[in-house]
């Protein structure tokens, strides 16, 4: 099996582990830290994620330039590029430290609802994580080099091993009384270890050299010209997922930040299942664009991918809409109107459920049309979408901030999701009129057979919800019943023949091996 195929399989395995382990670990962390400290943990993480933008998209740029020099067999150009990037990363680390120092002195005035002990914890975590980020960003160059050399197995394997060992270490640290500060120290230690192992592989095994032959201003500008759009999308991504924590951090108590963070986490888990499918189609979009595929041919591919994503997403969305609140009560809830420090009350669980459900509603259409983004990237037409997203994410943050004053975390997410929905609807006009995609046919064929099945299953699932009990046994019984109804109905009524074959083939292959 090639490095590419092995790397893709390991990427899917990593996505699966991150989602499953994340779901298992979250209630444990909340229980040991308590709602307030978990909220601080989320808030500081969001701020550090913002400072991480100072990477300026250099990591992805490394992959592109290394692949280019490798294709051209230009060893000296590769060495000079890496020598230049090393200097740029030194500047990035310096900016991270300076930004951290500046913001440190504003933490007291920013987190206005934190008490003295909560501010002490926040400051100490912030200092550790700034140090962590200052070494993590330059260390990411080694991962970029591996991918540029098409050595996908090593970085993905290291990522999986790191995530498993980190999770086990966190469990041990919590069991022996560790708090939020201990968790960020664990992350820092694992970052240093991962960077050290990656550096050894790149420098010793791949024999890569960092050697500055010539420092050219025009070359530096060329690097930043390529990375600028990546950087812009990083800002958009940050506004989507982290800006709510900034706003709430300034006006809310730590507990609210924890509630918001849990809702965001469930929303990102939802997206990961679809992204795992769409991420492998960029090469296909590039190939079709190079071969001047017609708008109808591109639409055909978008429909195929969209229908597969729709089937998977509607299974998850329907299940969460029907049984999600019960799951959250069992997952992080305390089972009563009020709860102890380590568990959330029924009302708080309902708020987490609402945030996650709103995200899923707003996130579904962009996920179904992910192939459209691959087409834009292949045709080098990302600028319109990037600028549009940036404008409406900023407006969404402003609207969310106003709504958050009255409606707290739910108001914040409503403002942000409103921005997503507007952008995706505008993008449909752009796809149709500028890229040549037949958006009306996309929706017509997307819903062909599948929509009626989704409505039937949700109606049936509503009656499944009358199964008595509110414990894990009741929830699992409902989930299994819903899954059986969904699979049977979708397979027999909703799927087209090629879709049935996609689901049938792995099962037949597995049975033949036995």
pLDDT at 282: 47
Q: For residue 456, how many other CB atoms are within 10 A of its CB?
A: 16
pLDDT at 180: 85
Q: For residue 142, how many other CB atoms are within 10 A of its CB?
A: 25
Q: Which of 176-180, 208-212, 256-260, 281-285 has the lowest mean pLDDT?
A: 281-285
CA distances from 280 to 277, 458, 498 (A): 6, 30, 19
Q: Mind listing the pLDDT tens digit for each residue in 108-134? A: 888 878 888 888 888 998 899 888 888
pLDDT at 267: 86
Residue 2 is classified by DSSP as -
pLDDT at 8: 59
| Nearest of 309, 289, 274 to residue 437 by alpha carbon | 289
Q: Taking residues 24-37, what's their average pLDDT?
A: 84
pLDDT at 43: 81
% the chain with pLDDT above 90: 25
Q: Taking residues 396-411, what's their average pLDDT?
A: 92
| Alpha carbons 429 and 425: distance in angstroms, whole number | 7
106: phi then psi, degrees, rounded to nearest 5: -110, 0
* Positive or negative torsion for Cα 91, 95, 96, 97: positive
% the chain with pLDDT above 70: 88
Q: Mind listing the pLDDT tens digit for each residue in 193-220? A: 988 998 888 888 888 788 877 777 777 7
pTM of the full predicted structure?
0.81
Q: Taking residues 451-474, what's their average pLDDT?
A: 92
| Nearest of 158, 152, 157, 159 to residue 3 by alpha carbon | 152
47: phi then psi, degrees, rounded to nearest 5: -65, -40
Helix or strand holding residue 432 (H, E): none
Residue 213 is classified by DSSP as S
């Amino acid at each position: 099996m090639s490095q590419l195929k092995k790397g893709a399989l390991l990427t899917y395995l990593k996505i699966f582990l991150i989602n499953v382990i994340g779901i298992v670990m979250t209630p444990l962390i909340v229980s040991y830290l308590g709602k307030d400290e978990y909220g601080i943990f989320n808030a500081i993480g969001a701020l550090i994620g913002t400072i991480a933008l100072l990477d300026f998209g250099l990591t992805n740029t490394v992959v592109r330039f290394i692949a280019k020099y490798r294709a051209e067999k230009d060893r000296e150009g590769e060495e000079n590029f890496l020598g230049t990037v090393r200097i740029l990363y030194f500047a990035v680390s310096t900016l991270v430290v300076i930004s951290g120092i500046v913001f440190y002195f504003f933490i007291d005035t920013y987190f206005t609802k934190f008490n003295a002990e909560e501010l002490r914890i926040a400051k100490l975590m912030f200092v550790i994580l700034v140090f962590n980020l200052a070494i993590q960003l330059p260390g990411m160059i080694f991962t970029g080099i591996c991918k540029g050399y098409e050595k996908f197995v090593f970085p993905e394997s290291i990522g999986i091993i790191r995530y498993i060992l980190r999770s086990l270490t966190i469990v041990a640290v919590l069991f022996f009384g560790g708090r939020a500060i201990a968790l960020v120290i664990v992350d820092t230690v694992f970052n240093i270890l991962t960077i050290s192992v990656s550096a050894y592989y790149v420098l010793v095994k791949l024999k890569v050299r960092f050697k500055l032959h010539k420092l050219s201003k025009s070359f530096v500008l060329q690097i930043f010209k390529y990375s600028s759009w990546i950087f812009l999308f990083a800002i958009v991504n940050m506004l989507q997922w982290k800006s709510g924590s900034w706003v709430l951090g300034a006006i809310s108590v730590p507990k609210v930040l924890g509630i918001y963070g849990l809702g965001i986490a469930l929303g990102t888990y939802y997206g990961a299942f679809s992204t795992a499918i769409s991420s492998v189609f960029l090469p296909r979009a590039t190939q079709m664009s190079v071969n001047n595929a017609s708008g109808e041919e591109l639409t055909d591919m978008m429909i195929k991918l969209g229908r597969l994503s729709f089937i998977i997403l509607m299974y998850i969305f329907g299940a969460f809409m029907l049984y999600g609140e019960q799951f959250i009560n069992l997952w992080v809830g305390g089972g009563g109107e009020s709860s102890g420090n380590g568990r959330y009350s029924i009302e708080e669980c309902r708020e987490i459920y609402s945030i996650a459900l709103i995200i899923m509603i707003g996130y579904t259409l962009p996920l179904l049309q992910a192939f459209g983004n691959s087409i834009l990237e292949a045709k080098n037409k990302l600028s319109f979408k990037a600028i549009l997203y940036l404008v409406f994410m900023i407006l969404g943050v402003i609207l969310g901030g106003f709504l958050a004053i009255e409606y707290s975390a739910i108001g914040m997410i409503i403002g942000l999701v409103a921005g997503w929905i507007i952008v995706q609807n505008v993008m449909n006009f752009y796809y149709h009129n500028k890229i040549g995609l037949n958006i009306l046919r996309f929706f017509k064929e997307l819903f062909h057979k599948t929509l009626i099945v989704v409505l039937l299953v949700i109606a049936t699932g509503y009656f499944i919800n009358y199964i008595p009990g509110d414990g894990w046994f009741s929830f699992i019984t409902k989930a299994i019943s819903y899954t059986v109804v969904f699979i049977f109905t979708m397979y027999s009524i909703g799927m087209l023949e090629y879709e049935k074959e996609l689901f049938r083939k792995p099962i037949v292959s597995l049975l033949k091996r036995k």
